[in-house]
Structure 1
Amino acid sequence: MFEALVTLCALATGDAPAACRAVLLPGFASDSSTTCEAALRAAPPDWLAAYSWQPTCAPRPPPTLAFEQIAPGVFVHLGLIAEPDAANGGDVANISFIVGQSSIAVIDAGASRAIGEQVYLAIRAQSPLPVSHLILTHMHPDHVLGAEPLREAGAQVLGHATLAQALSDRRETYTTNFARLIGSQGFLASRIIGPDLGLVGPQTLDLGGRRLHLQPQATAHTATDLTVFDETSGILFSGDLVVDQMTPALDGSLRGWQAVLADLQASEARLVVPGHGGPLLPWPAGGDAMNRYLKVLETDSRAALDQGLGLAAATALIGQSEASHWRLFEQYNRRNATVAYTEMEWD
């Protein structure tokens, strides 16, 4: 099978040299290079107009992103527990795909177009079925910036009803920051795209003999959280509502997160794929560490307020008893403490 590839380059800026890479263009796959190139010339992606390029097609390359089959038809890529940088290319979030009898759904897309392309190749190494859906669990860039090539492969992009506006409001900040963190070569041709459909209530997807239940959640980790439950395997895909090893990031509501987590732990799921770490935890026990951390944020914030501590003094203390239990604690806890303290100040 032949795939369309276009070599694109980012111009040198400052101390950064020019960076080039072969960008994969899903949607033009064919059993001959001639047919593939003709289709690419006839209807290239609109965004390519910003580049100088020549159509080319080559045998489909093997994927470089590793996926583990954790249950029949359920594949998960384990992201690193690390901050995005040029060395890891932003590969820091878990990504999953689920294979039904008639189509495939992907859950989250990674931090760059390059990662999204590798997700597509990993899927094609497992199945020729159409990629019907891409489900984005929330707005954070390490989960959404790889979405475009999966849409080009035919996926309808789904997310919370609030996701489109959240991404629009943060587009410039997210793309600027991740281009700086990952570097021009790793981030080349990456763009934020909004969902094709925002969900205001539950929705069920039928992949052919396999049903996924999508549930937009109240404000918790963020205001854009959405969970996926696979009936067949009994696995809950939580996004960052559940994380393992990596310090949770509070970008929404502490009280809301506690309530949503309690609801999820009372659900019929028996296993969970967290947004980071794992990649597979028992459920509901897999949420116990999260519950403990969130309770510490609540208790410490209340104590700081009762003692009359100001924000700066309080955030230096809140959550510190949890430091030994989580990685990247210093990067996330103080911000979590600020959000928790501020929210509880108005209780």
Structure 2
Amino acid sequence: MSGTTRRGVLKTALVFACCGMSHARLALAQSRPGDPLPVKQIADGVFAFAGIPAMMNDQNDGEICNVGFIIGDEAVAVIDSGGSVVEGKALIGAIRARTDRPIRYLINTHMHPDHIFGNAAFDSTGAIIVGHRNLPRALESRGAYYLQSYRDAMGGDLMADIRIVPPTKLISDEEELDLGNRKLTLKAWKPAHTDNDLSVFDHKTDTFFTGDLCFIGHLPTMDGSLLGWIAQLDILNGIKAKSAVPGHGPIPSPWPQALEAERRYFDVLASDMRKAIADGVPMSDAVKSAAQRERANWKLFDEYNQRNATAAFAELEWE
């Protein structure tokens, strides 16, 4: 976290108290500006940082998603760059505190700002940015909007260095990357959370970086296809991982148990929307009552559930 986050003990305490953060995280937030991101080693050569369940703003430097890196004998691969250049630089600092091997790949799991706003921090590393084959188009379509729409919440200082940096290596199906006696399998998924979801599987430790195909605690957000996401849950469930790094949630998380809450929410949401459509309930009314029995199970429910319900209604209306 940056000096913006660490300026005042009281200010930080209030922010973290609202998010239910621990005293340990609060202490980290009060440390000196420029410190490396406080990553956790979750397996041999695999490190991750757990973002907070909150909206991106200048209080948290956009540090709301999980990011990580994997160290091979020859090189390093980074999974997502975070929600700001400040976070991206802190992530590089965490890598350099553990190895001087080159950062060969920066893998973007999808288009959302909390995962890609830190890309510009990696300009000087020479890292190849990797993404789903649909990611360049998505960033071209949404990039300018993202930069403008987050300016008020993030503030001009934090946004100043953020640029939309698209991938140069594209994944269309599955492809292996070798970090030196360490192979990663990257998989491009059909529309689910977005239409450009990419996952990363480390074969040495059977660790699965899911991107936002898996949410725990933080309400899943839909920018792709509810039916597509539901259809791919069984495929995700079949991946033989020992543990997972979800896009949002505890690190590491047991696999495939990490999918259970998400599957339940989708089933409830789809059931409620289908009933509303069958009963002739207008979308404007249906989205207000959809999945309300799931409210207590998720953070940011009020921020995202109606948006999810609106997308679900539009999709299920044409079944």
TM over 0.5: yes
> Is the counterpart of residue 99 in structure 1 residue 71 in structure 2?
yes
Q: How many Å apart are 1:78 and its aligned residue?
A: 0.9
Where 1:134 maps in the other structure, the secondary structure is strand
Q: In structure 1, what is the equivalent of residue 48 of structure 2?
A: 76
Q: In structure 2, what is the equivalent of residue 52 of structure 1?
A: none
CA distance in 2, matches of 1:151, 1:164: 17
Q: In structure 2, what is the equivalent of residue 182 of structure 1?
A: 154
Q: In structure 2, what is the equivalent of residue 346 of structure 1?
A: 318
Q: How many Å apart are 1:97 and its aligned residue?
A: 0.2
> Is the counterpart of residue 145 in structure 1 residue 117 in structure 2?
yes
CA contact (8 A) 2:245 2:251 kept: yes
CA contact (8 A) 2:120 2:161 kept: no
- Alpha-carbon deviations, 1:210-254, whole Å to 9, x = none? 110000000000011001111011111111110111000011101
Q: In structure 2, what is the equivalent of residue 333 of structure 1?
A: 305
Q: How many Å apart are 1:151 and its aligned residue?
A: 3.8
CA contact (8 A) 2:197 2:211 kept: yes
CA contact (8 A) 2:219 2:305 kept: yes
CA contact (8 A) 1:162 1:224 kept: yes
* TM-score (ref. length: structure 1): 0.81
Unaligned ranges ≥5, structure 1:
1-60
Q: In structure 2, what is the equivalent of residue 38 of structure 1?
A: none
CA distance in 2, matches of 1:218, 1:262: 13
Where 2:210 maps in the other structure, the secondary structure is strand
Distance 1:151 1:214, change over 3 A: farther
The amino acid of 1:153's aligned partner reads T
The amino acid of 1:278's aligned partner reads P
> Is the counterpart of residue 297 in structure 1 residue 278 in structure 2?
no
| Number of residue equivalences | 287
The amino acid of 1:194's aligned partner reads P
CA distance in 2, matches of 1:120, 1:309: 51
Q: In structure 2, what is the equivalent of residue 165 of structure 1?
A: 137
More helix by share: 2
Superposed, which structure 2 residues align to 1:202-241 within 5 Å?
Answer: 202-241=174-213
CA distance in 2, matches of 1:142, 1:288: 24
The amino acid of 1:113's aligned partner reads V
Superposed, which structure 2 residues align to 1:310-325 within 5 Å?
Answer: 310-325=282-297
CA contact (8 A) 1:62 1:125 kept: no
RMSD: 1.1
Unaligned ranges ≥5, structure 2:
1-32
* Aligned mate of 1:133, from 85, 105, 110: 105
* TM-score (ref. length: structure 2): 0.88
The amino acid of 1:203's aligned partner reads E
CA contact (8 A) 1:161 1:199 kept: yes
Superposed, which structure 2 residues align to 1:247-286 within 5 Å?
Answer: 247-286=219-258
Q: How many Å apart are 1:270 and its aligned residue?
A: 2.5
CA contact (8 A) 2:36 2:92 kept: no
CA distance in 1, matches of 2:248, 2:150: 18
Where 2:163 maps in the other structure, the secondary structure is coil
The amino acid of 1:334's aligned partner reads Q
CA distance in 2, matches of 1:257, 1:328: 20
CA contact (8 A) 2:41 2:48 kept: yes
How high is the sequence identity, in percent, across the aligned residues? 40
Q: How many Å apart are 1:179 and its aligned residue?
A: 2.3
CA contact (8 A) 2:172 2:188 kept: yes
Superposed, which structure 2 residues align to 1:58-73 within 5 Å?
Answer: 63-73=35-45
The amino acid of 1:311's aligned partner reads M
